[in-house]
Amino acid sequence: MSKVLFSSISKKFVMALAGLFLLTFLPVHLIINLMLLKSEPGPFNTAAHFMATFPLIKIMEVVLFGAILLHISWGILLQIQNWIARPVGYVSGNKSEVSFFSRFMIWTGATILTFLILHWFNFYFIKLGIVKGNAEDFYSVAHKLFKIPAYDFIYLTCFAFLGFHLFHAFYSAFQTIGLNHRLWNPVVKPIALVYAIIIPAGFAFISITLWLFR
Amino acid sequence: MGKLISKIPDGPLAMKWTNYKASVKLVNPANKKKLEIIVIGTGLSGAAASSALGELGYSVKTFCYQDSPRRAHSVAAQGGINAAKNYQNDGDSTYRLFYDMIKGGDFRAREANVYRAAEVSNQVIDHYTALGVPFARDYGGTLDTRSFGGVQVSRTFYSKGQTGQQCLLGVYSSLNRQIKKGNVTMYPRREMLDLVLIDGKARGIVARNLITGDIERHAAHAVVLATGGYGTIYFLSTLAVNSNASAVWKAHKKGAFFANPSFVQIHPTSVPQLNEFQSKLTLMSESLRNDGRIWVPKLKGDKRPGNEIPEQERDYYLERRYPAFGNLVPRDVASRAAKERCDAGFGIGETGLAVNLDFRDAIKKQGKKAIEDKYGNLFDMYKTITGIDSYTEPMRIYPAGHYTMGGLWVDYELMTTIPGLYAIGEANFSDHGANRLGASSLMQTSGDGYFILPNTISNYLSDEIRVPKISTDNPEFEETEKAVRERLNKFISIKGKQTASSFHKRLGKIMWDYCGMVRSEEGLKKALVLIKELRVEFWRDLNVTGESTELNQELEKAGRVADFFELGELLVNDALNRNESCGAHFREEYQTPDGEALRNDEKFAYVAAWEYTGEGKPHILHKEELKFENVEMKVRSYK
Amino acid sequence: MKLTLKIWRQKNAGAKGNFETYKMDNVSTKMAFLEMLDALNKKLVEENKDPVAFDHDCREGICGSCGMYINGHPHGPVPAITTCSLSMRYFKDGDTIWIEPWRAKPFPVIKDLIVDRRAFDKIQIAGGFISVNTGAAPEANSILIQKNKSDDAFDAAICIGCGACVAACKNASAMLFVSAKISQFALLPQGRVEAKDRVRAMVEKMDEVGFGNCSNTGACEAECPKEIKLVNIARLFREYYKAF
């Protein structure tokens, strides 16, 4: 059974499912973040509080972290196996026509992970009490952070990478769970493109607005 | 071994195979495991035989020179595979298929064998379908057929232009199943370099591991050669460039008679030679002649592009000479007619060795779409090779060496004149007489491997059950290995200047010029002299670099070319002996006033089986008279 | 044309290899790529040097023997063809051509440009067949198959097992190869009977011999000389999930 659980396809399947779950989390996070645009901190902080305390969400939080952990660890494991599978590379490079971003998933993923750690330091760890700060007023924390140009710069860069990651991830997850059909396969890539633009653009919009116009 | 005993069973033609199977000696299942069989070659016949014998429980050892059994040259067959299913309700039957083959072979094949090949053809289709070979289907889900090769029924099953590949992958899969079960042990990248006889029986082989150069001994109770044809003797042919005759030739030198070596089919529609370094000729399916019109300019040496030559200045020579069949005359006739025009100076292109195959009229009549649907992949293939778009310009084609009807002489049981040595598929002198019809080779070779050999080999092996596992320490193995090593070392020690391939190319040209589509006594005699001269030069000036103890492709080639010199001589002698024109064998001296083949049934209705008598000694001819009890010998006419 | 060739030379599996540079004059645009190498080898032998070893056989794009990694592409820069079908007319006078063997852990180099592809055979042996004994087959027309299914099976079955998919994949994954065989049988009623065992066995073997994982980049599809499609990989995934 372990052979089956750890087969290349099973690992990919886990990667894809975890990834798909993360795909559903991002819009939720974006919607909450949009409340940062409001001039009073109330709605955002209420939402943040709700997310931090509501029991169902607390359960989902465990699932979310499980998904993140699986996605990252399996991603790294698969990548190491892939490197082992080609011990000697090509001198003349690889010029095959492939979707550009699909080549760099481990690197775009690693960038996102770096951001995630930063993000946890800024918010999540405050909530957990690991880092000092006011867990009940993330609105102010966010507003302060976005006023730091260097932070905005890192933030925007990372979300660009998130977009690159999502573009391939969206299509790839569908392929991996076996949903590739000649009828609607042509639709998946455009949807992936729209998703990969709207989500990072939404986050970026908030960041730029708070930085330059508030 | 003076006499050829063909072991044809008694009884009426249609009952011979049934009667044979009812009375053949069998081997007890418990004893089969103890009996070892070596199979050389993994094309349709070799892989099929290996898997069928494995299923029966024999211990099979299978060898191929390629890196995988899936690469054997059966893979390249395009058109299809015949069977007498009569799915079209067009009057087909086992008898009609048999008759078409006998007539197509110009009455130079053995009736009983041909009938049996036709008889098992239906089983072959059933089996391939069960193995998952995706033959073309009709909308109702039944198998589709097409007509092929100048017959009046539609009996050719096909998978687009890749029927050979699909069938080969079918036999490869059944072979894999037996490998998994442990009934077959596969030895890829091995080349058989000699046959080992013990007390006159085939008991094993000496092979070279092509990666390490190790010389290996393999013993068995019987040896099956499924090594294909020898068409690469012409150097440029439609065959895989590594296809060779060495296994059958070694067997021949150990006592297996070689039958009808001069019966070589020249395929009329291949891509012509484009440059002096060309290594092979690519076949364009014969089906193109259904819509393409073949022509040359009326004006000698007319070098204008085909499209600029007006209608009245074109010579549609096949339509002119054969109004009844036109462009659809059989392969041998079409090939000779192309050669005749080119020799007379009407050929096109830089070399003058090509004719036009023009789709202009067909496209005008049926539209480009219809032609694309039918031949799209062939047009693409042609464009890939030549860069020419055949939708707008005529295709250029020329005949090329293709299939060898000749091969090791076998009896009804497919056993050669060496007890325990069998030859199946194209490697034997087969069921195609002097000319093979389209789509009948896949049928015959699959039938040999799956359904015939597994039934006949027990007749021999049933007497071998008391013979214990044969040891490779026998002195016969010792001697054979020593001879093999000496020969390899000899190639390397010559240290001359020329490559094996350059000799092969020159030999091929001699064979093509004097023993190709048209032969004459004078030309053949000249060829004998030229081959001998070249052979002497070969053994004096060959250069093989590297060692025999490593992967050495030059050494592999040298061995194959050396054997081709000897086979070439026999081929020419056989052509000289056959003072008639029949099928693919056309002797200039024997033709009707209007240039058609003139058969001589009184003197030459026999299989010429040649016995090797030693280095430098002439072969002895044995004749197997062909009796036609069920068909009447007729003149083939396509006028 | 005049060309500069940079060819990977490696005496045997254990040896350390390196690139050698060869100058070629008088290369005709009518030559095939392998014929250009034949000409090089002729020259090398005449100079008593070791010729370049490479696999090749049918030279018409169907046997799957040949395979070289040419200027960043398996089988060279022209899509949908094998190395043997590559014409020299696609190159220009003065070009430098890099020629490398397939690179993948399960395809170790044997000599020069020849690699050992038996890993593919091992996967096929694990389950790439329908278990029917000779003589046991039912009448061919007794099982009807939808034409489109049969055509799809054919489109998957035309894989020539050359290994270009593995060579192209940045992960050296054999997913396209395996999926082609799985698809052929999965689409035919004859193959459905043992579909579950087949896919489990073949995937297990594929992992065991050390191919990488698929990351859906599509390089295999782009380089496949027979244009086998990625839908087959999705089908392989479905078949695998169905097997449990």
Per-residue model confidence as pLDDT tens digits over B315-330: 999 999 999 889 988 8
C-alpha span between C54 and C83 (Å, rounded): 11
CB B66 to CB C138 under 8 A? no
Pick from C28, C55, C81: CB nearest B384:
C81
Does ipTM top 0.95?
yes
- Using a CB–CB cutoff of 8 Å, tell me whether C128 touches chain B: yes
- The pLDDT tens digits of the residues spanning C191-237 come to 999 999 999 999 999 999 999 999 999 999 999 999 999 999 999 99
Banded pLDDT at B155 (limits 50, 70, 90): very high
- Residues 6 or more apart whose CB falls under 8 angstroms from that of A6 comprise none
Asked, for residue B212, whether it belongs to a domain, the answer is: no
Query: What range defines the domain where residue A208 resides?
Result: 8-84+103-213
pLDDT at A140: 92
Domain count, chain B: 2
C-alpha span between A160 and C194 (Å, rounded): 47
- Using a CB–CB cutoff of 8 Å, tell me whether C48 touches chain B: yes
CB A171 to CB C203 under 8 A? no
Banded pLDDT at A71 (limits 50, 70, 90): very high
pLDDT at A1: 57
CB A85 to CB C231 under 8 A? no
Q: In what order do the strands lie in the sheet with C18-24?
A: C18-24, C3-9, C96-100, C69-70, C73-74
CB C140 to CB B126 under 8 A? yes
Neighbouring-strand partners of residue B215: B208
Write out the two tokens for B524: 């053949």
C-alpha span between B365 and B370 (Å, rounded): 10
A 10 A CB-CB count for B613 gives 11
The CA distance from A11 to the nearest CA of chain C, in Å, is 9
Going by DSSP bridges, is the β-strand pair B258-259/B407-408 parallel, antiparallel, or unpaired?
antiparallel
pLDDT at B80: 92
Average pLDDT over residues B506-527: 97
Pick from C87, C137, C158: CB nearest B385:
C87
- The pLDDT tens digits of the residues spanning A98-120 come to 888 899 999 999 999 999 999 99
Question: pTM for the whole thing?
Answer: 0.96
- The pLDDT tens digits of the residues spanning A26-63 come to 999 999 999 999 999 999 999 988 988 899 998 999 99
pLDDT at B150: 65
CB-count exposure of residue B310 (10 Å: 0-12, 13-18, 19+): exposed
Q: In what order do the strands lie in the sheet with B407-408?
A: B407-408, B258-259, B606-611, B620-625
Q: What is the DSSP letter of B198?
A: E
The CA distance from B484 to the nearest CA of chain C, in Å, is 23
Asked, for residue B293, whether it belongs to a domain, the answer is: yes
Chains B and C touch (3+ CB pairs under 8 A): yes
Question: In C, which residues are within 8 Å of B73 by CB distance?
Answer: 57-58, 63
The more confidently predicted of residues B313 and B301 is: B313
C-alpha span between B277 and C43 (Å, rounded): 12
Going by DSSP bridges, is the β-strand pair B421-423/B222-225 parallel, antiparallel, or unpaired?
parallel
Average pLDDT value over all residues in chain B: 95
How many helices, marked H, and strands, marked E, lie in chain C?
Answer: 9, 7
Q: Is the confidence at residue B238, as pLDDT, over 50? A: yes
3-state secondary structure of B600: coil
CATH, domain C3-111, list 3.10.20.30, 1.20.1560.10, 3.40.50.2000, 3.40.720.10: 3.10.20.30
Which subunits sit against A, judged by 3+ Cβ pairs under 8 A? C
Cα Rg, chain C, nearest whole Å: 20
Lowest-pLDDT choice from B377-391, B423-437, B469-483, C217-231: B377-391
Same domain membership, residue B597 and residue B484: yes
Most C CBs within 10 A among A2, A9, A99, A181, hence the mutation to make, goes to: A9
Which of B399, B424, B447 is a domain's end point? B399
Q: Is the confidence at residue B418, as pLDDT, over 80? A: yes
Asked, for residue B629, whether it belongs to a domain, the answer is: no
Asked, for residue B123, whether it belongs to a domain, the answer is: no
C-alpha span between B623 and B491 (Å, rounded): 36
Cα Rg, chain B, nearest whole Å: 24
pLDDT at B161: 86
Which of B384, B399, B414 is a domain's end point? B399
A 10 A CB-CB count for B347 gives 22
Q: Is the confidence at residue B583, as pLDDT, over 80? A: yes
Same domain membership, residue B395 and residue B274: yes
The CA distance from C137 to the nearest CA of chain A, in Å, is 32
Question: In B, which residues are within 8 Å of C157 by CB distance?
Answer: 132, 134, 159, 166, 169
Average pLDDT over residues C15-19: 97
Write out the two tokens for B243: 């296809």
Average pLDDT over residues B546-552: 97
Location of structure tokens 């006594």: B521
- Using a CB–CB cutoff of 8 Å, tell me whether C40 touches chain A: no
Of the candidates C204, C83, C122, which has an alpha carbon nearest to the alpha carbon of residue B188? C122
Is residue A23 within a helix (H) or strand (E), and if so which, with residue range?
helix A8-34
Write out the two tokens for C225: 């000389």
CB A85 to CB C105 under 8 A? yes
Residues of B annotated catalytic, as ranges: 331
- Using a CB–CB cutoff of 8 Å, tell me whether C42 touches chain B: yes
- Using a CB–CB cutoff of 8 Å, tell me whether C204 touches chain B: no
- Residues 6 or more apart whose CB falls under 8 angstroms from that of B572 comprise B262, B511, B514, B515, B524, B527, B528, B531
Percentage of chain C with pLDDT > 70? Answer: 100
Banded pLDDT at B1 (limits 50, 70, 90): very low
- Enumerate residues 141 to 160 of chain C having a beta carbon within 8 A of any beta carbon in chain B: 141, 143-147, 150-151, 153-154, 157-158, 160
pLDDT at B116: 98
Asked, for residue A91, whether it belongs to a domain, the answer is: no
The CA distance from B476 to the nearest CA of chain C, in Å, is 33
A 10 A CB-CB count for A1 gives 6
Location of structure tokens 């952070």: A145
Asked, for residue B133, whether it belongs to a domain, the answer is: no
What's the CATH fold of domain C117-242? Answer: Fumarate Reductase Iron-sulfur Protein; Chain B, domain 2 (1.10.1060)
3-state secondary structure of B493: helix
Write out the two tokens for C177: 């190869």
Which subunits sit against C, judged by 3+ Cβ pairs under 8 A? A, B
- The pLDDT tens digits of the residues spanning B73-108 come to 999 998 899 999 999 999 999 999 999 999 999 999
Most C CBs within 10 A among B45, B87, B129, hence the mutation to make, goes to: B129
Phi, psi (deg, nearest 5) at residue B416 = -80, -170
C-alpha span between C131 and B2 (Å, rounded): 45
Write out the two tokens for C99: 């020629």
H helix runs in B105-162, sequence order: 111-130
Q: Which long-range contacts (CB under 8 A, 24 or more apart) does A114-122 make?
A: A114/A158, A115/A154, A115/A155, A115/A158, A115/A162, A116/A68, A118/A154
C-alpha span between C163 and C168 (Å, rounded): 9
C-alpha span between B387 and A30 (Å, rounded): 56
The one-letter amino acid code at C1 reads: M
Average pLDDT over residues B59-82: 96
Give the CATH number for residue B495: 1.20.58.100
Q: Is the confidence at residue B637, as pLDDT, over 80? A: no
Asked, for residue A93, whether it belongs to a domain, the answer is: no
Pick from A78, A88, A96: CB nearest C222:
A96
Phi, psi (deg, nearest 5) at residue C42 = -60, -45
Same domain membership, residue B482 and residue B382: no
What does C87-144 look like in DSSP terms, one character per residue? BGGGS-TT-EEEEE----TTS-EEETTEE--HHHHHHHHHH-S----TT-PPPGGGS-
- Using a CB–CB cutoff of 8 Å, tell me whether C38 touches chain B: yes
- Using a CB–CB cutoff of 8 Å, tell me whether C229 touches chain B: no
CA nearest to C129 within chain B: B173
Same domain membership, residue B498 and residue B390: no
Average pLDDT over residues A132-156: 92
Q: Is the confidence at residue B374, as pLDDT, over 90? A: no
Domain count, chain A: 1
Write out the two tokens for A136: 């009940």
Question: In A, which residues are within 8 Å of C183 by CB distance?
Answer: none
Chains A and B touch (3+ CB pairs under 8 A): no
3-state secondary structure of A174: helix
The CA distance from B535 to the nearest CA of chain C, in Å, is 19
* Strand positions, DSSP E, B85-200: 156-157, 184-187, 190-198
- Residues 6 or more apart whose CB falls under 8 angstroms from that of C176 comprise C165, C169, C220, C221, C224, C228, C230, C232, C233
Write out the two tokens for C68: 């070289």
C-alpha span between B148 and B567 (Å, rounded): 32
C-alpha span between A178 and C199 (Å, rounded): 14
Banded pLDDT at B206 (limits 50, 70, 90): very high
The CA distance from A213 to the nearest CA of chain C, in Å, is 40
H helix runs in B387-413, sequence order: none
- The pLDDT tens digits of the residues spanning B324-368 come to 889 988 888 899 999 999 999 999 998 899 999 999 999 999 999
Most B CBs within 10 A among C1, C112, C129, hence the mutation to make, goes to: C129
Question: In A, which residues are within 8 Å of C200 by CB distance?
Answer: 4
Give the CATH number for residue B359: 3.90.700.10
User: Residues A11, A16, A17, CA angle at the centre, nearest 5°?
Assistant: 100
CB C65 to CB B176 under 8 A? no
Q: Is the confidence at residue B199, as pLDDT, over 80? A: yes
C-alpha span between C205 and C118 (Å, rounded): 12
Domain spans in chain C, listed from the N-terminal domain onward: 3-111, 117-242
The answer to whether residues B604 and B582 touch, using CB atoms and an 8 Å cutoff, is yes
CB A90 to CB C72 under 8 A? yes
For residue C111, the Cα-to-chain-centroid distance in whole angstroms is 18
C-alpha span between C82 and C65 (Å, rounded): 9
C-alpha span between B601 and C112 (Å, rounded): 55
The answer to whether residues B267 and B403 touch, using CB atoms and an 8 Å cutoff, is yes
Q: Is the confidence at residue B252, as pLDDT, over 90? A: yes
Is residue A213 within a helix (H) or strand (E), and if so which, with residue range?
helix A185-213
For residue B468, the Cα-to-chain-centroid distance in whole angstroms is 36
For residue A56, the Cα-to-chain-centroid distance in whole angstroms is 21
pLDDT at B277: 87
- Using a CB–CB cutoff of 8 Å, tell me whether C76 touches chain B: no
Of the candidates B210, B246, B254, which has an alpha carbon nearest to the alpha carbon of residue B230? B246
CB A98 to CB C207 under 8 A? no
Query: What range defines the domain where residue B492 resides?
Result: 475-611
